[in-house]
Amino acid sequence: MTLSKLFQVWSRIPCFLRILLLRLRGIDISFTAKVDAHVEITKGCRIAKGVHIQRGVCLSGNVSVGEGSTIGVYSSLSTMPDGHVKIGKHVLINSFSTIGAAESVTIGDDCIFAAYLQITDAEHGFEDRTVLIREAPWTSSPVMIEEDVWIGTQVVVLKGVRLGKGSVIGAKSLVNKVIPEYSIATGLIPRCLRRCGKNTALQYPAACGGVVYLPLAFLHQ
- Run of H or E including 24: helix 3-24
DSSP label at residue 43: B
Catalytic annotation present for 52: no
Environment class of 215 (CB within 10 Å of its CB; exposed 0-12, middle 13-18, buried 19+): middle
Bridge pairing between strands 150-151 and 112-113:
parallel
Q: Do 134 and 116 contact (CB within 8 A), yes or no?
A: no
Q: Which residues contact 20 (CB under 8 A, 6 or more apart)?
A: none
Q: Which helix (H) or strand (E) holds 192?
A: strand 191-195
What's the CA gap between 221 and 28, in Å, rounded? 55
Q: Which residues does residue 156 pair with via DSSP β-bridges, in sequence order?
A: 118, 174
- Name the active-site residue from 52, 84, 124, 220: 124
Rounded distance between C-alpha atoms, residue 36 and residue 164, angstroms: 32
Q: Which residues are catalytic?
A: 124
